[in-house]
């Protein structure tokens, strides 16, 4: 389920066509298709998809494009870091082997669409869906175990590429006001996010997770690139089941690789035991994930229990904000989701504390 429609798409289409023509000074006859929104996964920033055509001299050009708009309504995260998303993706696109969409333009003038936005290329691929869960039905469930294994191995390779230590120039992601290291900065950020999201209401499972984390803080506190929302649902796969692009970088940070690996493993739990489902044959087990990651990166996985609990804590905060968003958008039936949801149920079992009623 995507976020509710934000604007009149007919008006936005004309605005974007005129804007695109200004970005292509040598082009004539610029036209764009009707705008659509992606479906099937996530509650991301407003996203608009369209195809553009134009001429430059005798040459006709066609390009699929994606517009990501900075949130102006209900905000899931304490800080959007919107311009940093574009800056990082542009860096990864220009100078690394991390598979990301081609990045084209950033528009900071809110007068165009009502908020800043950036434009990237549309990638020919599809993501495993959250709704319906990919372990239950859909194109992943319909694939053979061999095809799913190809998907999983390619996804692990993409995750390892994000953590390539040779990636340079990401220091702009630092938030030194929150701590000396990327780890410390993120820990403080999520402490502030918890206070912001809870709004003074009791959150027993998240509170138990935070208390457990304070007693199990790792000695190693890294500062290196983290994707943040690391999961196969945020990857686009081609017909050959290989990863074509890694998308959705709203949770980017310098929290380090275990920050991503813990999220990856917790989301695997969420999409199996949290949904009452079995992992499909071909998709690697939690132990397989560790073995494959260590093989690809040459690094030893450590402190993973902490990072999985940390991931559950972060996801519980996101669920608080999602519940509040549903209320803001008058989506019925989600009133109790703030404290009692599949995330807090899984997290309670991991912590061996009473699950939410």
Question: How confident is the model over 143-165, as a mean pLDDT?
Answer: 98
Q: Which domain holds residue 151?
A: 139-351
| Interval 342-352: pLDDT, tens | 999 999 999 99
Q: What is the mean pLDDT of the chain?
A: 94
Q: What integer pLDDT is reported at residue 2 of this predicted model? A: 45
Answer yes or no: is pLDDT of 332 > 70.
no
SS (H, E, C) 263-275: HHHHHHHHCCHHH
pLDDT for the residue numbered 188 = 98
Extract the tokens encoding 101. Answer: 């969409």
Distances (CA, A) of 254 to 84, 169, 185, 308, 324: 12, 12, 8, 17, 28
Same domain, yes or no: 181 and 324: yes
| Residue 334 pLDDT | 64
Inform me whether the pLDDT recorded for 7 exceeds 80. no
- Provide the pLDDT for residue 333: 62
User: What percentage of the chain has pLDDT greater than the value 70?
Assistant: 95
- Per-residue pLDDT at 43: 60
Res 327: pLDDT: 82
What does the block give as tokens for 242? 């290989």
Whether the per-residue pLDDT at 39 is higher than 70: the answer is: no
Question: Contact, 264 vs 240, CB < 8 A?
Answer: no
**pLDDT value, residue 41:** 47
Identify whether 274 is part of a domain: yes
241 & 342 share domain: yes
Share of the chain above pLDDT 90, in %: 86
Once rounded to an integer, what is the mean pLDDT over residues 136-155?
98
CATH number where 111 lies: 3.30.200.20
Residues 162 and 111 in one domain: no
How many residues in the chain? 357
Q: What is the pLDDT of residues 263-287, one digit of tens each?
A: 999 999 999 998 899 999 999 999 9
List pLDDT tens digits, range 248-268. Answer: 999 999 999 999 999 999 999
Q: First CA to last CA across the chain, in angstroms? A: 25
Does pLDDT of 114 surpass 80? yes
* Phi, psi at 165, each rounded to 5°: -65, -15
Residue where a domain stops, chosen among 93, 121, 149: 121
The answer on 77 and 40 residing in a single domain is yes
Q: Residues 122-126: what's their mean pLDDT?
A: 96
Instruction: Tell me: do 210 and 112 sit in the same domain.
Output: no
State the pTM of this model: 0.94
Rg of the chain over Cα atoms, rounded to whole angstroms, equals: 21
Per-residue model confidence as pLDDT tens digits over 155-188: 999 999 999 999 999 999 999 999 999 999 999 9
Q: How many CB atoms lie within 10 A of CB 339?
A: 19
Residues 245 and 335 in one domain: yes
- Inside any domain, residue 253: yes
How many domains are there within the chain?
2
């Amino acid at each position: 389920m995507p976020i509710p429609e934000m604007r009149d798409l007919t008006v936005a289409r004309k605005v974007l066509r005129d804007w695109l023509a200004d970005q292509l000074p040598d082009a004539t006859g610029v036209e764009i298709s009707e705008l659509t929104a992606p479906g099937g996964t996530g509650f991301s920033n407003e996203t608009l998809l369209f195809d553009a055509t134009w001429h430059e001299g005798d040459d006709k050009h066609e390009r699929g494009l994606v517009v990501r708009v900075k949130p102006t309504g209900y905000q899931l995260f304490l800080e959007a870091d919107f311009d940093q998303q574009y800056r990082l993706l542009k860096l990864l696109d220009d100078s690394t082997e991390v598979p990301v969409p081609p990045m084209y333009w950033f528009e900071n003038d809110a007068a165009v669409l009502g908020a800043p936005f950036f434009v990237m290329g549309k990638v020919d691929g599809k993501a495993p869906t959250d709704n319906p869960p990919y372990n239950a039905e859909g194109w992943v469930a319909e694939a053979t175990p061999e095809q799913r294994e190809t998907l999983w191995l390619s996804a692990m390779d993409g995750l390892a590429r994000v953590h390539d230590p040779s990636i340079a120039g990401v220091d702009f992601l630092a938030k030194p006001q929150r701590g000396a290291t990327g780890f410390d900065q993120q820990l403080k950020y999520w402490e502030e996010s918890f206070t912001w999201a809870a709004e003074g209401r009791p959150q027993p499972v998240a509170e138990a997770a935070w208390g457990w984390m304070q007693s199990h803080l790792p000695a190693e506190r890294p500062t290196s690139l983290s994707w943040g929302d690391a999961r196969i649902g945020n990857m686009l796969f081609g017909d050959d089941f290989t990863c074509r692009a890694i998308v959705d970088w709203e949770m980017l940070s310098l929290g380090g690789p275990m920050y991503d690996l813990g999220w990856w493993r917790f989301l695997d739990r969420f999409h199996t035991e949290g949904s009452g489902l079995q992992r499909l044959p071909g998709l690697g087990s939690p132990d397989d994930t560790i073995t494959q990651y260590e093989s690809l990166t040459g690094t030893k996985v450590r402190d993973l229990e902490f990072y999985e609990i940390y991931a559950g804590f972060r996801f519980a905060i996101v669920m608080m904000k999602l519940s509040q968003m549903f209320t803001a958008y008058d989506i019925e039936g989600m009133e109790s989701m703030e404290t009692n949801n599949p995330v807090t149920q899984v997290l309670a079992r991991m912590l061996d504390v009473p699950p939410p009623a």
